[in-house]
Structure 1
Amino acid sequence: MATTPTQIILDTPAIDFRLPATDGRTYTLDDIAGEKGTVIVFICNHCPYVKAVIDRLVADARVLMREGVGFATICSNDAATYAEDSFSNMKQFAQAHEFPFPYLHDETQSVARAYGAVCTPDFFGYDRDRKLKYRGRLDEGRTTPPPAGTRRELVEALRAIAITGVAPPGQTPSVGCSIKWKATQG
């Protein structure tokens, strides 16, 4: 079932984290933050929305990273329930799609909760001061490719934020599968 973020509070500061990545390193927000801004995207391996956008996401990340925007993806799904989202499968997914950015594992789900992430993919775009300026989508594609000539909304937004520091108006929230939360013990 498709889920869309409901709460967008611009200028919220990015939350620091320390998470292991598929490349064998551990990263903090400082490690991935870019000089002109930062994008953090919550994704997973099994979601049809992620699978449909992943190659465009990687291509757009390469563009933004060349322009001084830091980029990372985070998987927070419960791998006990969704084995395809296990850390070992994350490594394979990152290699298969040639991720040029860290793919981080949020096993405790604390980072997803701190950010208010609700779906995969869920995009958070920050300015150089690490204030939230974009909580939109990659583009208008969903589980099928977008129409020819579709705007590259994430790229356009982060370019504008890097130049002006201003959030673009009319941000369209991402749509995706809900994050697969662990059962709470009560």
Structure 2
Amino acid sequence: MSIEHKHVAEIFPYDGSQIDASWAFREFGIYGSSIITWVGPVNITPDNLKDFADVGLEIKSNYMINFICEFFDCQPANMRIAYLRQRLLVMIFREILFEKGVETKREGDDIFVDGRKLSISIATASLSSMKIHFALNLEDKGTPDDVDTIGLFDITDEDNNQIFDDGNLVDLVNETVDRFILELETIENDISKTNLL
């Protein structure tokens, strides 16, 4: 499976409409499976909520790194596979944080640092594709008052030095996407070389 990654330098908001099918094609002319990443605020409007459990809740942040993944390799689209890939992406990101000395806790598709919520995520499927939105706070600003949150830029090492900043954010994004794509590709390779019983 070929997956194209595009990191968009322009800052723009995520309002939930980007989870719609073929958004990457409509917005950027990208055919096929893709991962689009960018920095921007998040404020999901009620008409774009996909998770019934989130109805009536505020999902917002002033400053996040956003990942929108879309896959066309499974027809018809499979919601279970979409959620499994979402969890894989979350776990890969946790692995990278661990390698950089950041201890985390995972609850479902949510990542916590020092008991504070770092990420949001949703997976869904349309008639034609499977989609994932995964986003991480960069700063603890503009998030719901009833949620204790943390941003990547708020995380420090033992000497109280900031671990992540604007200088290494894109590298962190690229490393995450590269590992995710590699994992999906190796799964495809393993399938192709496995002798069926």
Length-normalised TM-score, structure 1: 0.37
Greater strand share, 1 or 2? 2
Largest Rg, 1 or 2 = 2
Length-normalised TM-score, structure 2: 0.36
RCO (CA 8 Å, sep 6+): is it higher in 1 or 2?
1
